Homo-oligomer: A and B are copies of this chain.
Amino acid sequence: GHYLVCGYGRVGRHVTQELIEQDLRVAVIDSRPEALAGLKISGSSAIVGSASDEAVLTAAGILHAKGLVACASSDAENLLIVLTARLMNPEITIIARAVDEASEPKLKKAGATRVVLPYQMAAIRTTTLLLRPAVADFLWEAAHIGGFELFLEQIPLRPASCLIGQTLAQAQLRNRFNVTILGCRLPDGTLSVRPTAETVLDAGKELIALGTYAELQAFARLASGEERGAAAS
């Protein structure tokens, strides 16, 4: 599965770079050949054309893509891209950028999975930096950057895992893997925060875990059932 980036402006360039850094394949669509001229990153392909044109989306491989980012220059353009893409692929994850807050419900109605509002985000982050700088640093780093080698990751629990059926207390994840469980996402998408010692590890749940990359990888292998692991002592 690859990703489509529609619009190669400031946001599109950064998104493409982030995805490529995570070893993912990207197809970039923009109607301005001169904008795409700067795109020379291995793992990415460039398509000149309108991202709301079905033939262009087909050429970019929308039918077997995992996700699409609509970050063209106007909310109206993004709305048309989202609507077209959603009709062609009901399963794909679509993230749309909006300038105006009033566009958010429209983009969601058109089929966007999530909407990002850069100016609103910038304002909220500015306020947090002003009033609670340590919180702002902690979260942004852990969520997005991994600057102090600590990451938050979502770890799915698969039926084959030996953890299934245990409570968090029984699984002893802190002792065995040094990971901290901060939340649990249920199969219906609702997020439960601060699961207790009695929370049962059912297949289909996803745990929000804080740890180093190596710790999270070890835990993820057990949760996926790839590895059986020693029983908790």
Contact = CB atoms under 8 A, between A and B. Distances in A.
Interface of A: 3, 10-15, 17-19, 22, 67, 69, 71, 93, 95, 97, 99, 113-114, 116, 118-145, 148, 150, 152-154, 180, 182-183, 185, 191, 193-194, 206, 208, 210
Given A14-B123, A113-B133, 15 more contacts: A69-B126, A95-B129, A97-B122, A114-B129, A116-B125, A118-B122, A121-B125, A125-B144, A132-B154, A134-B154, A135-B152, A138-B183, A139-B139, A139-B152, A150-B193
A124 B14 contact: yes
A123 B182 contact: no
Given A143-B135, A185-B134, A123 B15 contact: yes
A47 to B, nearest CB: 19
Nearest to A192: B148
A114 B137 CA distance: 11
B128 A143 contact: yes
A68 to B, nearest CB: 9
A148 to B, nearest CB: 5
Q: For A10, A67, A123, A150, which residue has the most chain B Cβ atoms within 10 angstroms?
A: A123
A13 B116 CA distance: 18
Contacts of A137: 191
A207 to B, nearest CB: 9
15 contacts: A10-B119, A12-B123, A13-B123, A14-B123, A14-B124, A17-B123, A124-B145, A125-B144, A132-B153, A134-B185, A136-B143, A138-B208, A148-B193, A150-B194, A180-B180
Given A138-B183, A138-B208, A150-B193, A14 B120 contact: yes
